[in-house]
Amino acid sequence: MNSFREEVTAYLGLGSNLADPASQLRRARAEIAGLTGVSERAFSSFYHSAPMGPADQPDYVNAVMAVDVTLDAHELLRALQAIELMHGRDRSGRRWGARTLDIDILLYGQEQLHYEDLTVPHPGMTEREFVLYPLAEIAPAGLEIPGGGRLDDWLARCPKRGLEVLSVD
């Protein structure tokens, strides 16, 4: 990590539908905030959502976390993938299948990144209610999605499709 790197605000999408999803997200939140070069800025409510992929899996619990980071985007990605692995994440299954923990980099400052292993803003985020609603809960007013327009405009076009805020302790 470059100790002279300027701090960037990143938004992370967290989701789980296995092994007590709310507990998975609580633990992941603490682990992310505990990373060197990362400090928590905000954390959304937990949201209950139907699975985006195959319907023969449990519903999801999702949240969005805002963090200030001095890590570059790839360093952050590697750290988040290590946390997923600690939670038993298995990447060998079907796409959009059940998982103990999924952490996505939604936004990394105002960067637009296109690498084989990382695309930011996260592809499809503007169509996913389980991303947009928790993001809007914690994002500053007028947040611009780099290259994609205003968050408020995307939110207005995205139905909730059964998305519910959970009351969790």
Torsion 61-44-37-75 (CA) sign: positive
Cα dihedral 138, 108, 37, 19 in deg (nearest 10): 60
Amino acid code (one letter) for 102: D
User: Does residue 26 contact residue 83 with C-beta atoms inside 8 Å?
Assistant: no
CA dist 158 and 152 (Å) reads 10
User: Does residue 71 contact residue 29 with C-beta atoms inside 8 Å?
Assistant: no
Catalytic residue ranges: 89, 99, 102, 104
CA distances, 146 to each of 80, 107, 150 (Å): 22, 8, 9
User: Does residue 57 contact residue 126 with C-beta atoms inside 8 Å?
Assistant: no
Cα dihedral 137, 88, 81, 104 in deg (nearest 10): -30
- The residues facing 69 across adjacent strands are 8, 38
